[in-house]
Amino acid sequence: MNNLTGKTALVTGASRGIGRASALALAQAGAQVLVHYSSGEKEADAVVADIRAAGGNAQKVAANLRQADGPHELAKQVRAVIGHRLDILVANAGISKAASIEDTTVEDFDNLFAVNVRAPFFLVQQLLPVMCKGSSVVLLSSLAARAAVGTLPAYAATKGAVDTLVRHFASALGERGIRVNAVAPGVVETDMSNFTKTDSGREVTLNMQALKRVAQPDDIGGAVAFLASDAARWITGETLHVDGGSKL
């Protein structure tokens, strides 16, 4: 169903966690995958090696998406590798910081918005010239955008902004045949949500979910590959909750 043979894909933040799982899922479906990283070059090399070992096609690309020109720099590298057609953009790279309203600094706030909102916005802008009819953009939202979970007001606001971008991008790009959606995970066991490794963190997580296990990155990667595929050809402007029934 998710046949992506012959398609080109960029996954940001693919060195670890959900990005890594998304890159593997897209490659397994047949796409050529550009594995983006910032600080995790060794980890990105390992993802590329895993994809190639399974018979797939992957290259690494690097950029710090906290820098204002990071998306522009990344888009240049991507265009140099894939030429003039990008079929799939997964804007996954993100940061979080738990802090109360009182404890959130201006620097934290600006960093969160730079990586989680500004970078996906300008990456879409910079890659639009190589996206065409049938291309698909998948952004990473979060359960935090629709429910007060954890102590994450600034982070949650970045994901609310992502949901808004999805609708506006989808509306603006539909004419060109480009679909734009988001996946909104609940808690997923990654470096970002490493509290799931403690008994109390695990209990809090399971208590808010209908399904009683802690999500792993590949629970999300499959949903990303689905949204990128032709099986989702009539879905655009949507945020798909992939959260085991969290906060129902």
Ligand X SMILES: NC(=O)c1ccc[n+]([C@@H]2O[C@H](COP(=O)([O-])OP(=O)(O)OC[C@H]3O[C@@H](n4cnc5c(N)ncnc54)[C@H](OP(=O)(O)O)[C@@H]3O)[C@@H](O)[C@H]2O)c1
Contact flags string 115-144 toward ligand X, x per CB under 6 A: x------------------------x-x--
33 binds ligand X (CB under 6 A): no
The tokens for 136 are 């698909």
Distance of alpha carbon 85 from alpha carbon 128, whole angstroms: 10
Which of residues 142 and 229 has its CB atom nearest to ligand X in the complex? 142
10 binds ligand X (CB under 6 A): no
Whole-angstrom CA distances from 91 to 14, 35, 56 are 10, 11, 21
Active-site amino acid positions? 155
Which of residues 77 and 83 has its CB atom nearest to ligand X in the complex? 77
Cα 221 to chain centroid, rounded: 9
75 binds ligand X (CB under 6 A): no
Of the candidates 2, 28, 32, 92, which one interacts with ligand X according to CB under 6 A? 92
Distance of alpha carbon 144 from alpha carbon 214, whole angstroms: 16
40 binds ligand X (CB under 6 A): yes
Within 191-220, the residues that bind ligand X by CB under 6 A are 191-193
151 binds ligand X (CB under 6 A): no
39 binds ligand X (CB under 6 A): yes
Of the candidates 15, 135, 239, 246, which one interacts with ligand X according to CB under 6 A? 15
65 binds ligand X (CB under 6 A): yes
Cβ–Cβ < 8 Å for 71, 63: yes
72 contacts: CB under 8 Å, gap ≥ 6: 122, 126
The tokens for 165 are 């971008």
Q: Give the DSSP letter string of 50-71.
A: HHHHTT-EEEEEE--TTSTTHH
Distance of alpha carbon 206 from alpha carbon 195, whole angstroms: 12
CB of 42 to ligand X, least distance (A): 9
The tokens for 70 are 């990071």
* Segment (H or E) for 82: helix 70-82
236 binds ligand X (CB under 6 A): no
Residues near ligand X (CB under 6 A), total: 28
CB of 112 to ligand X, least distance (A): 9
* Binding stretches for ligand X (CB under 6 A): 13, 15-19, 37-40, 64-66, 92-96, 115, 140, 142, 185, 187-188, 190-193
